[in-house]
Structure 1
Amino acid sequence: MVRSEGISRAQFLVGAGAAGVAAAAGSVLPAERAEAAGTAGREARRRGLTYRGVCYEVAEGETPGTAWSAARMRKDLRVIKEELHASSVKVTGDGVDRLTATSSEAAERGLHVWLEPTLGDRPEREILDHLAEAGRHAERLRRQGARVLLSVGCEFWLYVPGIVPGDDVTERIKNLLAGNFDPDRMRRRLHSFTARAAKTGRSVFRGEMSYAAAQDDEVDWSLFDIVGIDYYSFFPCRADYVRELTTYQRWGKPVAISEFGTCTFKGAPQQGGMGWNNVDYDKQPPEITGKLVRSERTQAAYLADMLEVFESMGLYAAMAYTFVTPDAPHSPEPRYDLDMASYSIVKAIKDRPHDPESDWHWEPKQAFHALARHYDRARCRPAP
Structure 2
Amino acid sequence: MTAAAVHPDEIAAILESDGMTDTHIRLTYGRQDSFALAEALYERTDRRHPAPEPPQPTPWHTGLAGCLLRGLVFALPGLAYVLGAPLLATGPGRYGLPPGTVPLFAGAVTGWVWNQALSHRAYTWLGLGDRRAATRALLTGAPAGAAAGAAVAVAAAAPGETPAVLFGAGQALYLAAATVLLVLGRERALLCALLPLAGAVPAFRYDLPEPFRIALLLASLTATTCVAARALRPEPGEQPPRTRGGPPFAASLPYGLFGLGSGLLVLYAGADAVVALTLSMGPAEWLLHRFRGASLTRLRLLTTAYEFRRAVTGMLARSLGAYLGVLAALTLTAAALWPGTAALAPGRIGSLLLVGAVLWLGLLLQAFGGVSSAAAVCLLAAGAQTLMPPAAAPVAAGAAAAVLCVLTGVLLARPTTHRF
| Structure number with higher helix proportion | 2
Whether TM exceeds 0.5 here: the answer is: no
Compute the TM-score of the two structures, normalised by the length of structure 1. 0.30
Compute the TM-score of the two structures, normalised by the length of structure 2. 0.28
Tell me which structure has the larger Cα radius of gyration. 2
| Structure number with higher strand proportion | 1
- Structure of greater relative contact order (alpha carbons < 8 Å, 6+ residues apart): 1
